[in-house]
Structure 1
Amino acid sequence: MSPSLVIAGREIREGLRNRWVATATLILAALALALALVGSAPVGEVGTGRLTVTIVSLSSLSIYLLPLIALLLAFDTVVGEAERGTLLLMLAYPLSRWQIVAGKFLGHAAILSFATTVGFGSAALAIGFSAPVLPTSAEWWNFAGLIGASIGLGLAFVAVGTVISVTVRERTTAAGVAIVVWLFLVVLYDMGLLAALVATGGQGFLGQTLPAWLLANPADAYRLLTLAAFDGAGAIAGLEAVVADLPAVWPMLALLAWIAGPLAVAWTIFARREL
């Protein structure tokens, strides 16, 4: 078996042992079920399928919750092993450093993917059993796309957390940096962008390049993918006019870049790190 898969399996077992898997799954399932059962109450009668309304609600929730869960999973990927003294033991085996990074990423990716699929899938089942009118096949496909995009968002922040973990020397520092990164990318970035748009009236360079600014942030790329790309969801969220001409492939590529790019940076830093 590949050393990376062995390390991934170890991360999954640790996640089961310290209840990370159960906790993340229960949190996502509870919130997803609550939003699904509320139905269209938050937005009134919009003439849109209940599952589409749930996609909007879940995507808004995921932007805040999934990045935080992902960063908490990954912030001590390497620095935690170094503090416990097990990193030197791992490197004593015939393992390359990229295999360690890849294995830990795959393990965390599996935990997050399972939690997201089961958690959000429970909302879909609740709607399927309780809705007076069954969702259309297009709505089911959109919901499946929501789950896939949510996993992509989580993996992007797992990769960012891995960069943090290979850069700092103490777990407490890594935790603090992870919170700051979450705050900036999820909250402050959009606030700054909105303030700039208001100040310029949406005109000029910023207004013309707004989609690019949104794609530069993994949380906003996820928002564009889940709200603007799925039929009906963008109209509810008010983003349809902003990205009317933006192909859905661009947000997908942006999320993939936010996974591959930080992983490459993490491996480069870890390869040069002196223990």
Structure 2
Amino acid sequence: MSEMGYVAVREMKIGFRNPWAYSFMALFAMFMVSLLIINSQGYVSGYSGTSGTMLNLALYLLPLMALMLGSFSLTGEKEEGNWELLATYPLGTWSLLAGKYIGLSIVLLSIVSFGFGLSGAASWLSGSGFDFLTYQQLLVFSIGLSLFFLGLAMLIGTIARNRWQALTIAVGVWFFAIIAWPSILIALLGMMPYPWIKPAVTTLTFLNPAELTRLFTVVKLGGGSTLGPEYYNWMVWIRSNWGTPVFIGVMLLWIGTMLAISFGLWERGRSRG
């Protein structure tokens, strides 16, 4: 087995023993099933109040879950002294980071899949829920959101010295990207000349993976008309044949950038001893 594969398997074993993982799994599944029961109104297709609520649930919960699990994994290596031990072995920094990312991705995707699977079974038994395409799009949204923020968690875990520092940074990033983002965006756009607004909206959206994933999913679900005229160009390119490949490319670029920055910081610390 390669170094990366060894780290990934080790991370999966640790992740599935982590009580945090099962707490998030139970919380996510409970909220999804409860939401479907409360909004029992037959099968829901496309963007609606129910699918929008489900989307917001994932938007609030999954980034925080990914940020905490990912950053705690790296800071745990520092606090427990495992990194000093691993540094004495011929284990490359890239193998460590990529292996951890792959292992944690499997843990996160298992949590998301369990939540969707349980809610899908509950909706099938109750005769309500989402049609298959809507359910599939919401699942893809949740997976993309988790992978985006797991990449950011790798950077937070690299910067933070311990779990408490990682928790503080993770909660701060989550609050900025999820809770405060609409207010910050409106404030910034209000100070700009009108011709700058559309380019600024595009640039700032690409800098926030939560907003990018949300807009992509809303348009794919057919709710693009709710976004307003500033997002007309978004609706055009997302609905086009190259909308999905572009989104996947941006996601891979974002994750790769986060891992590359983390790699550089770990290598600098390793060279300094």
Interval containing the TM-score (normalised by the shorter chain): 0.7 to 0.9
| C-alpha contact (below 8 Å) 2:21/2:69 kept by paired residues | no
1:216 matched to 2:210: no
Partner of residue 45, structure 1: none
Corresponding residue pairs, total: 261
After the TM superposition, which of the residue ranges 206-215 and 61-70 deviates more from structure 2? 206-215
Q: Are 2:24 and 2:65, in contact at CA under 8 Å, matched by a contact in 1? A: yes
Report matched runs for 1:199-210 at 5 Å.
203-207=194-198, 209-210=200-201
Q: Please state if 1:245 is matched with 2:236.
A: yes
> For 2:184, which of 183, 192, 207 is the aligned residue?
192
Deviations 1:239-266 (A, max 9, x none): 2753432323344433333222111111
Look up the equivalent residue of 1:152 and give its one-letter code: G
2:140 paired residue number? 148
- Aligned partner of 1:19 in structure 2 is 19
Distance in 1 (alpha carbons) for counterparts of 2:40 and 2:52: 10
8 Å Cα contact 2:70-2:104 kept in structure 1 = yes
Distance change in 2, residues 1:21/1:168 (3 Å): closer
Counterpart residue number, 2:78: 82
Q: Which amino acid aligns with 2:227?
A: L
Compare the two structures and name the one with the higher helix fraction: 2
Q: Are the equivalent residues in 2 in contact too, given 1:116–1:151 (CA < 8 A)?
A: yes
Unaligned stretches of 5+ residues in structure 2: none
1:38 aligns with 2:32: no
Deviation at 1:118, TM superposition (A): 1.3
SS of 1:190's equivalent in the other structure is helix
The letter of the residue matching 1:68 is: L
Q: CA deviation at 1:192?
A: 1.0
Over the residues paired in the alignment, what is the CA RMSD in angstroms?
A: 2.5
Matches of 2:139 and 2:97 in 1, distance apart?
Answer: 25
- Per the normalisation by structure 2, the TM-score is 0.85
Tell me, yes or no, if the aligned pair for 2:60 and 2:178 is still in contact at 8 Å: yes
Distance in 2 of aligned mates of 1:191 and 1:128:
39
Residues 114-168 of structure 1: CA distance to partner in whole angstroms, max 9, x if unpaired? Answer: 1011102322232233236x86xxx412322321221121111111111111123
Q: Does the Cα contact within 8 Å between 2:64 and 2:174 map onto a contact in 1?
A: yes
**Normalising by the residue count of structure 1, what TM-score does the alignment of the two structures yield?**
0.84
Partner of 1:66: 62
Structure 1 equivalent of residue 161 of structure 2: 169
Q: Aligned-pair distance for 1:77?
A: 2.9
1:118 to 114, 117, 123: 114
Query: How far is 1:203 from its partner?
Result: 3.7
User: CA 1:191–1:22 in 2, change beyond 3 Å: closer, same or farther?
Assistant: same
